[in-house]
């Protein structure tokens, strides 16, 4: 059967790039993002490829939407790759943690941490069947402690720990699920989210998401369990981050 990938946040930026990359590798795709118009436009650009494209707009932090995505996977009959790319930045300009609105921080964690974990929980039976891979998109803000980036960075640090813990729990002497879980810091990119982090600033010096393509081509060629539990930097000279 043809391989199937589910990509969240697929309407623009890195998610849109990955959709095009995987479509060119003959994957069937399940794509989701909050903006239906942009998502449909992104998906229509993939019609030149032979794979099946399923589009389901919605908020990944919503349980009902997660169930819709699970139903779509069931219709495809398999899932080989889950890319948890959807994220929110939080308030812009970004406030310091000392004055960060806690309601906003809860939403950042709901989208950036709980939603990826929720999708893994729902889709794990399908990933087990294919010995598939979960890719959680992280950030250098997870380890940088940058002033103003505390809310977003804390959510990505939590996602890194979720990724590593799942990697250990799903692959040990007591629980051999053969599902790989990794996190990837794609690096600074010229995206709408990055622009929102720097309102009024020219970010044209940042590379486009296409700068990460050599990494993704390499990653797709690896055996999933050989990369399990690792954290990668997609634009670094050495992709693997040593613990």
Whether residue 26 is predicted with pLDDT greater than 60 in this model: the reply is yes
pLDDT of residue 59: 98
Domains of the chain, residue spans: 4-233
Catalytic annotation on 100?
A: no
Higher pLDDT, 201 or 226: 226
| pLDDT value for 241 | 84
Write out the DSSP string of the chain.
Answer: ---EEEEESTTSHHHHHHHHHHHHTT-EEEEE-S-HHHHHHHHHTTTTSSS-EEE--S-TTSHHHHHHHHHHHHHHT--SEEEE------SSSPPPGGG--HHHHHHHHIIIIIHHHHHHHHHHHHHHHHT-EEEEE--THHHH--TT-HHHHHHHHHHHHHHHHHHHHHBSSS-B---EEEEEE------HHHHHHSTT---TTSPPGGGGHHHHHHHHTS-HHHHTT-EEETTSSS-BPP-
The pLDDT confidence band at residue 194, using thresholds 50, 70 and 90, is low
Phi then psi dihedrals of residue 87, to 5 deg: -150, 160
* pLDDT of amino acid 177: 72
The fold adopted by the segment(s) 4-233 is: Rossmann fold (3.40.50)
In the predicted structure, residue 176 carries a pLDDT above the cut 70: no
* For range 187-195, the mean pLDDT: 74
CA–CA distance, 171 with 224 (Å, rounded to integer)? 12
pLDDT digits (tens, 9 = 90+) for 128-175: 999 999 999 999 999 998 998 899 999 999 999 999 999 999 987 566
pLDDT of residue 243: 63
Q: Which of 152, 216, 232, 239 is catalytic?
A: 152
Mean pLDDT score of the chain, rounded to an integer? 93
pLDDT band at 206 (very low <50, low <70, confident <90, very high): confident
């Amino acid at each position: 059967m043809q391989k199937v990938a589910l990509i969240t946040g697929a309407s623009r930026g890195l998610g849109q790039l990955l959709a095009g990359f995987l479509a060119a590798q003959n994957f069937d795709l399940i794509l989701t993002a909050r903006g239906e118009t942009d998502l449909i436009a992104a998906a229509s650009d993939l019609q030149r490829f032979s794979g099946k494209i399923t589009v389901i707009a919605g908020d990944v932090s919503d349980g009902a939407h997660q169930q819709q995505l699970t139903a779509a996977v069931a219709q495809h009959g398999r899932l080989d790759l889950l890319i948890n790319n959807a994220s929110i930045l939080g308030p812009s300009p970004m406030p310091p943690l000392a004055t960060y609105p806690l309601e906003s921080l809860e939403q950042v964690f709901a989208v950036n941490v709980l939603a990826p974990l929720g999708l893994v929980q729902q889709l794990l039976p399908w990933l087990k069947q294919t010995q598939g891979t979960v890719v959680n998109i992280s950030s250098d803000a997870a380890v940088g402690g940058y002033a103003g980036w505390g809310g977003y960075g804390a959510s990505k640090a939590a996602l890194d720990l979720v990724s590593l813990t799942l990697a250990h729990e799903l692959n040990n002497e007591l629980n051999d699920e053969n599902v790989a879980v990794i996190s990837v810091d794609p690096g600074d990119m010229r995206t709408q989210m990055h622009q929102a982090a720097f309102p009024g600033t020219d970010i044209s010096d940042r590379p486009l998401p296409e700068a990460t393509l050599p990494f993704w081509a390499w990653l797709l060629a690896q055996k999933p369990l050989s990369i399990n539990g690792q954290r990668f930097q997609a634009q670094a000279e050495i992709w693997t981050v040593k613990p």
